[in-house]
Amino acid sequence: MHRKKIVLIVLWIAAGWMAPAAHAHEFSGARAMDYARKAVAFGPRPPGSAALRNLRAYIVAQLKPCGCEVTQDSFTGHTPAGPLAMVNVIARFPGRSGRALVLTGHYDTKKMAGGRFVGADDGGSSTAFLLEMAATLQGMPHDDDIDLVWFDGEEAFGQWSETDSLYGSRHLAGRWAADGTLSRIKALINVDMIGGKDLHVMNEENSSLALRKLIWSTAERIGYGKYFDNAPGSTDDDHMPFVKLGVNAVDLIDFDTAKKTYWHTPEDTLDKLATHSFEVLGAVLTEVLKQL
C-alpha cells in the first residue's frame, strides 16, 4: 500500500472520529436573540396563562432534536391569587459520572395590570439563553449530566416575599432534595435578565464564592472581564432555594435598575436586548462548563 494512501485512510478515520464535534455549533448570540423574539411573540406569559402553555410547548418542541430527556415537572403554586398549575421544564443531557451540572432560568413573565408586559429581558432572555444552550450541547462531550431547567413562577403576584416568589425553584429544590438529586449537583448556574444592552453581571454575594471565582476568572481570560462587576451586590433569585439547601449555586443577573428603567414595565421590549450580551454569557458559560 502506498504511503500516501495510508495517510489518506488515517485522515479519513480521524475525520470520522471528529465528525460529532464538527456537527455541534458554538453558542450564537444571534440565534439566542431569535429565540427571545419567539418568546416575546407569545405575548405576556404569566403562570397559568395560555401564552405560557404555548411557549412551553414551543420549548419542548425545540428540545426534540437535542438528544436530551425532557421532563415536565408539574406542581401547584399556592399564590395570593389562589392555587395555580405550574410546570418547570427540565432537559437532561445524560453523562456517565453520576454527577450533574445544572443551568437554570425562568420562562414566566410577571403578571402586570394592563396585561402589556412582555418581558423581553425579564423572562425572555433566560428562556432564549437556555434554548440556544440546548442547541449547542448536542455535540459537546461531557462526563456529567447537564440539566437545563426553565422555571415557572419566578415572579411574585403581589409584594415579593418568601412565600410569594420563586415558585418553580422552591418546588424543584424540594423535590430534588427528597429524591437525592441535590447531592449529585456539582454546580448550579442561574441566569436572569442577561440580554440587556451594556451588560453588567452582578457579583451576587449570596452565591457560591468558588463558582463566582471560576466564572469571573474565565470571563477575564477570554476577554469579557469588563462585563462582570467586581463590587458585590445581592438579590433574591431562583438560585436561593438551592443555596439554602447547601448546593454550590450562583446567580448571574444584570439587575442595574437605574440603567434598566424598563424593568417590570411595558417598556421591557425586544429593542432593549443586545445580541452581544447573549454572546458574552454563552461564551463564558460554555468555557465554564468544560472546567467544572
- CA separation for the pair 35, 123 (Å, rounded): 12
Q: How many chain residues interact with Zn ion (CB under 5 A)?
A: 1
Nearer to Zn ion, 121 or 145 (CB): 121
- CA separation for the pair 201, 220 (Å, rounded): 13
As given in the structure block, the three cell numbers for residue 242 are 438551592
The verdict on 254 binding Zn ion (CB under 5 A) reads: no
- CA separation for the pair 62, 43 (Å, rounded): 19
The verdict on 122 binding Zn ion (CB under 5 A) reads: yes
**Of 5-13, 71-79, 118-126, 138-146, which segment contacts Zn ion by CB under 5 A?**
118-126
Nearer to Zn ion, 253 or 285 (CB): 253
**Of 6-14, 51-59, 117-125, 218-226, which segment contacts Zn ion by CB under 5 A?**
117-125
Closest CA to 152 of 162, 165, 167, 163: 167
**Of 119-127, 201-209, 241-249, 275-283, which segment contacts Zn ion by CB under 5 A?**
119-127
- CA separation for the pair 20, 141 (Å, rounded): 9
Q: Sign of the CA dihedral 6, 8, 10, 16?
A: negative
Nearer to Zn ion, 126 or 207 (CB): 126
**Of 12-20, 116-124, 265-273, 277-285, which segment contacts Zn ion by CB under 5 A?**
116-124
Nearer to Zn ion, 31 or 106 (CB): 106
Least Cβ distance, residue 106 to Zn ion (angstroms): 8
216 Cβ neighbours under 8 A, 6+ residues apart: 203, 225, 228, 230
Nearer to Zn ion, 122 or 279 (CB): 122
- CA separation for the pair 77, 261 (Å, rounded): 29
Least Cβ distance, residue 109 to Zn ion (angstroms): 8
- CA separation for the pair 286, 228 (Å, rounded): 16
Q: 63 to 82, contacts with Zn ion by CB under 5 A?
A: none
Closest CA to 105 of 138, 59, 140: 59
Please report, for residues 20, 48, 122, 211, 287, the alpha-carbon distance to residue 187 in angstroms, rounded to integers and kept in the order given.
Answer: 26, 30, 23, 8, 14
The verdict on 192 binding Zn ion (CB under 5 A) reads: no
Nearer to Zn ion, 116 or 221 (CB): 116
Nearer to Zn ion, 122 or 238 (CB): 122
Least Cβ distance, residue 195 to Zn ion (angstroms): 13
* Residue ranges in contact with Zn ion by CB under 5 A: 122
